[in-house]
Structure 1
Amino acid sequence: MLYKEIHIGKFIKERVEDKEITIERICNFLNTDEEVVKRMYNSKSMDTELLLRWSKLLEYDFFRLYSSHLILYAPPSGANKNPEKSEKIPYFRKNIYTQEIKEFIIKRIQSGEMTHAEVIKEYSIPKSTLHRWFQKINSTK
C-alpha cells in the first residue's frame, strides 16, 4: 500500500465493499442520503468528524493512513531534539512504525526498489531500527 497519495474516499469505498455494508445502513448511520455517500467515495479528503464516524461504522482507523504518511514522508526534523511540550495538546515521544509501514519498507528493499541507505535517507529511519526489522524477519524464517 502506498501512503504518499491518500484518496480517502477510495479507501472508504473499498472497506465498505469488504465489509459488505448496505447503503441503507450507511445512510442511516451518517444521517444522509445515497447521493451524498457516493460523493464521499469520490472525495480525496473529508472533515475529521465525518472520517471519525466512518472509522466507527467500518471498524477501521482511517486516521492511520495519514499517520503513516507523516512517518514516511514528513519525518520529524533532527534539528529539534527537545521539542517544547504543551499541556494543551498531546505530545508524542516518538514515531510508532505500524506493521504495515514495516512491511512496506521491507518490501521495497527486498524487491530492489530501494537500498538500505536510500530508505534511511528518504524516510529518516534509524539504521539500527531497520537492522532490527530484518533480524526479526530472519529469526522467524
Structure 2
Amino acid sequence: MLYKEIHIGKFIKERVDENEIPMERICKFLGKDEESVENMYKSRSLDADLLLRWSKLLEYDFFRLYSSHLILYAPPAAVNKSQHKSEKIPYFRKNIYTQEIKDFIMKRILSGEMTQSEVIKEYSIPKSTLHRWLQKTDNTNG
C-alpha cells in the first residue's frame, strides 16, 4: 500500500540509491553532516522545508505522496454552503485525481484485489468517475 503508510525517509533513501547520489553531494546540498542524513533516512516525517530541498535534489515530488494519501484516505469534506474559500491561501479541488492515483486504483480492480464497490466505498470515488476510468482502460486494451 504505497500511499496508506508513508515513511518518507525510506522513500528518500530508495530514490538516492536509484540515482546513485554520493553522500558528499547530499551533505553539501542540504548543509547537513552524514549522521544527520542517515537519521533522515530513518525518519517517518521531515520538516517541509527539508522535504522541499530533498525534492529538488532528487528531482522527485515527495509531497505528491501526501497529496495522494489525502485523495485516497481522507474523508470527503462535508458540503456546507456557508464555508467560503480563503483568499489568502490557494484552494485545491480534492476531486482531481493524478494519473498515479488512477493507475493505483485500476491496478487494484484489474488484479482482483478489490471490487468496484469496495473501491467506491474505501476511497470515496464517485461511481461515474470509476466507470469512466474503466471505459478508458477497456478502450486502450481492446
The normalised TM-score by structure 1 is 0.93
Q: In structure 1, what is the Cα distance between the partners aligned to 2:2 and 2:93? A: 25
Residues 72 and 81 of structure 1, relative CA distance in 2, 3 Å threshold: farther
After the TM superposition, list the runs of 4 or more consecutive aligned residues in structure 1 that deviate by more than 4 angstroms: none
| Runs (5+) with no aligned partner, structure 2 | none
The answer as to whether partners of 2:71 and 2:94 remain within 8 angstroms in 1 is no
Give the equivalent residue in structure 2 for 1:47. 47
| Residue type at the aligned position of 1:48 | A
Q: In structure 2, what is the Cα distance between the partners aligned to 1:118 and 1:52? A: 35
Residues 22 and 2 of structure 1, relative CA distance in 2, 3 Å threshold: same
Tell me the alpha carbon deviations over residues 94-120 of structure 1, each in whole angstroms, 9 at most, x when there is no partner: 422111111111111112221111111
Q: In structure 2, what is the Cα distance between the partners aligned to 1:122 and 1:60? A: 28
Q: In structure 2, what is the Cα distance between the partners aligned to 1:82 and 1:128? A: 27
Q: In structure 2, what is the Cα distance between the partners aligned to 1:88 and 1:4? A: 30
Residues 116 and 94 of structure 1, relative CA distance in 2, 3 Å threshold: same
Q: 2:32 aligned with 1:32, yes or no?
A: yes
**1:136 shift after superposition:** 1.1
Give the equivalent residue in structure 1 for 2:21. 21
Q: State how many pairs are aligned.
A: 141
**1:121 shift after superposition:** 1.1
Q: In structure 1, what is the Cα distance between the partners aligned to 2:101 and 2:12? A: 19
Identity of aligned residues (%): 77
Give the equivalent residue in structure 1 for 2:80. 80
Residues 12 and 124 of structure 1, relative CA distance in 2, 3 Å threshold: same
Give the equivalent residue in structure 2 for 1:63. 63
Q: In structure 2, what is the Cα distance between the partners aligned to 1:125 and 1:82? A: 24
Give the equivalent residue in structure 2 for 1:97. 97
Tell me the alpha carbon deviations over residues 27-61 of structure 1, each in whole angstroms, 9 at most, x when there is no partner: 00001111110000000001000000000000000
Tell me the alpha carbon deviations over residues 46-100 of structure 1, each in whole angstroms, 9 at most, x when there is no partner: 1000000000000000000000000000042243367411111111134221111
Q: In structure 1, what is the Cα distance between the partners aligned to 2:108 and 2:57? A: 33
SS in 1 for 2:128: helix
The normalised TM-score by structure 2 is 0.93
| Runs (5+) with no aligned partner, structure 1 | none
Q: In structure 1, what is the Cα distance between the partners aligned to 2:58 and 2:112? A: 35
Q: In structure 1, what is the Cα distance between the partners aligned to 2:44 and 2:134? A: 34
| Residue type at the aligned position of 2:90 | P
CA RMSD in angstroms, aligned pairs only: 1.4
